[in-house]
Amino acid sequence: MKPVSPYSGLPDRQFWRKEPGIVEPALFDPVHNVPFRIGPDDRIVTAGSCFAQHVARYLNNSGYHHLVTEQAHPLMGEPIARTFNYGTFSARYGNLYTARQLRQLLLRAHGAFEPVEKSWPKGGGGRVVDPFRPQIQPHGFVSEAELLVDREQHFRAIREAIRTMDIFVFTLGLTEGWADRRDGAVYPLAPGVAGGVYTPELVAFKNFDLAETVEDMQFSLDYIRQINPNVRIILTVSPVPLNATFEDRHVFQSTTLSKAVLRLAADEMTKRFSHCLYFPSYEVITAPHVRGAYFGPDCREVVEEGVSHVMGLFFKHFTTGGQKTIAPKVQDNPDVAVHLDAMGRAIDMLCDEEAITNE
């Protein structure tokens, strides 16, 4: 029988009014045709903008293997480790907002790019922050020398993560950034915001366009695949609007342009790379079906209910076992715990003794 129109017989998902989410927002599900699944043993590396932190958090709590190669020493315990941003992502790179940041991080970690700027001053007393992750420690580092030691450990962790991961989840966040005029190094925050001094002669505003973003993503994914040819890639776009724009226009206009560029770049990557797909977290949070309910009172922060909807779909479509709820894995080490206990007991025993003898 001849179709009435080219749309005849197409699946319901391709028609707006057939979407169950119109009636029941919680049923909104724009995900389909997922070409691979994530098993409990697959090592997942997370990176990207702040929304990626939610992905990492859910993975940590759900029994899947969020690969954390930069772990706090097991002495430290969970609350302190969290305060110092261990486990927020697979390594302590902080938020990677732009594709250029991802590209430069890969190069820096592998010794192929050494930016001129080593550190930014933070307050007084010689304290500094890392210009490329200025908020990774609550009060920065005690000195540039300490920062450089930490960075060495950080880069080792990144190399290990890239080399051993099975799944790479990257959330594109922004197109706007600040670049060093001397070597093009891109910072996540403008100097002066969380450390450093804003010097217009040294840094310039940069709004990466579609061609640049695609080129940076192409470079980054090529680079990763050269090291780890079998890694499967999941790209997302952060639904969180820009906090501020340096462009002379309304911040919401900059938001829509930025997200459009990122969405197109992600789409382009799925065409250029095998086993690379787009997960529509941006769409779930911003869709009219959810009637804006997934944004907080400031119209910007994504509320937990929205994150839960997104991650529910993530587990439903990408995993073999669905979502589980288990306690976050504490990075303990039985040897360390036993040692600490033994040392504490020894001190207690010693402190009970009165033998002060060898005068």
Instruction: DSSP for 235-286, please give it.
Output: EEE--PPPS---SSS-HHHHHHHHHHHHHHHHHHHHHHSTTEEE--HHHHHH
Task: Restricting to residues 80-119, name those near another protein by CB under 8 A.
Answer: 80, 83-84
Given 126, 184, 312, 328, the residue binding another protein (CB under 8 A):
126
Neighbour count for residue 112 (Cβ, 10 Å)? 10
Given 117, 150, 166, 212, the residue binding another protein (CB under 8 A):
150
Residue 201 sits in the site that holds another protein (CB under 8 A): no
**Rounded to the nearest whole angstrom, what is the least distance from the CB of residue 305 to another protein in the complex?**
33
Q: Of 80 and 244, which CB lies nearer to another protein in the complex structure?
A: 80
Using an 8 Å Cβ cutoff, are 258 and 242 in contact? yes
Token pair of 131 as six digits: 């210009």
Residue 142 sits in the site that holds another protein (CB under 8 A): yes
Using an 8 Å Cβ cutoff, are 11 and 60 in contact? no
Using an 8 Å Cβ cutoff, are 161 and 44 in contact? no
Residue 336 sits in the site that holds another protein (CB under 8 A): yes
Residue 2 sits in the site that holds another protein (CB under 8 A): no
Given 143, 207, 255, 270, the residue binding another protein (CB under 8 A):
143
Residue 354 sits in the site that holds another protein (CB under 8 A): yes
Residue 76 sits in the site that holds another protein (CB under 8 A): yes
Name the residue type at position 332: D
Using an 8 Å Cβ cutoff, are 235 and 279 in contact? yes
Residue 149 sits in the site that holds another protein (CB under 8 A): yes
Neighbour count for residue 263 (Cβ, 10 Å)? 18
Interface contacts to another protein, rule CB under 8 A: 72-77, 80, 83-84, 126, 137-139, 141-143, 145-146, 148-150, 152-153, 333, 335-336, 338-340, 342-344, 346-347, 349-359
